[in-house]
Structure 1
Amino acid sequence: MKAVRVLIIILLGFLGVSSCSEKQDFDQMENLAITPTYETSIFYVKAQESIINRVSGLSVFSQDFNFDAFEEPFFAERVLSGVLSYELENTTSKPIEITLDFLDPNDTVLDTESFQRDAAPTATLVRDVNYGTTGKSLDIIRNTSKIRLTARNLGDNSSTSSISDPAIVLRSSAKFTLELK
């Protein structure tokens, strides 16, 4: 019985060594393209109507957000395309205007996105802005170091919405495709 087992093991070993296999081509790595897509939140801003009513004049909010992530060499040298997505909700009793300015390190405006919403009830405004071959120049993204957000009340400072917790809400996210190799 031991002789049969030894013979079977030798036969299986011989078949394993002499089985069909292709020569490995390690030059394929040169033709490999790695292009992952990364998604991230950019900002979330909410202003309640009670706060808007306390502000005199049209300007409700103005804030510069430092955003050096786009300038990082790892990102700037590898970005192929991108989409910035925005959602704007207005449940207040006021028509509003939101402006986003994309600024370089010298505060030069590279691009502007503007949004307007009537007083509530209105649907949520959804906008996707493409960058790259199917949209705006990638240089806008590569050179942005700051985003300036300005909100304006185009109505009055006394009315109040009948909707519970009336507010202006702006959400933004980004999805970028990078070339790693």
Structure 2
Amino acid sequence: MKSSSLSKISSILFSVFLLFSCSSDLNFDQVNDFKIEPVFVANLAYFNIPANRLVDDGGTNIVYDVRDFDVFKDKFFTERLKKAEFNFEVENTIDRTFVLNMLLINEQDQVLETLSFTVPSYKGTPNVIKYPTEVFENARLDLLKQTQRIGFVVLIAAGPPLNSESQGNLRLRSSATAYLVIE
């Protein structure tokens, strides 16, 4: 009998305890202070050119290619982009020195900026070069936002002639990191 009354008293006290709660005024103005800063990483460009496709006579030669770059057609992205970083890695297994130029081109076909990378010739040991990060902020970011196409110019320095039997590759891997602010 004592345990039954003790149980009832405990139940009543517990029920009374549940009726009390804490509350505070809600501040919906906090929504105005909402800010997120997402970071996106994506592939920027990639190519792998076999030496036997760079047939030349041993003099200086040029390989050129242009690709559309329509990232900045999206107004939402363009307005919120606060910083961009490009990372480049080049691997050369060809016995020739190269200069790789990446051209940022606007819609009037004007070159806005040229990023240039010297690639030493292959000497039998691993030849992977990671170049310093290209950072686009402020005025440089404004130029980048005008980019509609990206061009690649590969200058082949003088050296041993390349033919259809030549071995090796010139490989570019690059990525872009975009920093946005959404308020």
Q: Identify the TM-score tier after normalising by the shorter chain.
A: 0.7 to 0.9
Q: Give runs of aligned pairs for residues 1-181 of structure 1, distance below 5 A.
A: 8-53=10-55, 58-121=60-123, 122-133=127-138, 137-156=140-159, 158=161, 166-181=168-183
Runs (5+) with no aligned partner, structure 2: none
Instruction: Report the CA distance shift for 1:112/1:28 in structure 2 as closer, same or farther (over 3 A).
Output: same
Mapped to 2, the partners of 1:42 and 1:119 lie a distance apart of: 24
Mapped to 1, the partners of 2:17 and 2:177 lie a distance apart of: 51
Mapped to 1, the partners of 2:16 and 2:61 lie a distance apart of: 83
- State the shift of 1:109 in Å: 1.2
- State the shift of 1:154 in Å: 0.5
Instruction: Report the CA distance shift for 1:2/1:61 in structure 2 as closer, same or farther (over 3 A).
Output: farther
Overall identity of the aligned pairs, in % = 23
**Normalising by structure 2, what TM-score?**
0.82
In the TM superposition, what whole-angstrom CA distance separates every residue of 1:104-152 from its partner, at most 9, and x where no partner exists?
A: 111111111011112113441323111115xx62112211110011111
Instruction: Report the CA distance shift for 1:81/1:2 in structure 2 as closer, same or farther (over 3 A).
Output: farther
Mapped to 2, the partners of 1:91 and 1:46 lie a distance apart of: 11
Instruction: Report the CA distance shift for 1:149/1:10 in structure 2 as closer, same or farther (over 3 A).
Output: farther
**Structure 2 residue identity aligned to 1:118:** P
**Normalising by structure 1, what TM-score?**
0.83
Mapped to 2, the partners of 1:72 and 1:35 lie a distance apart of: 18
Q: CA RMSD in A?
A: 2.6
Say which SS state the counterpart of residue 53 (structure 1) adopts: coil
Runs (5+) with no aligned partner, structure 1: none
Give the greater-gyration-radius structure (CA): 2
Task: Give the aligned length.
Answer: 176
Instruction: Report the CA distance shift for 1:123/1:56 in structure 2 as closer, same or farther (over 3 A).
Output: closer
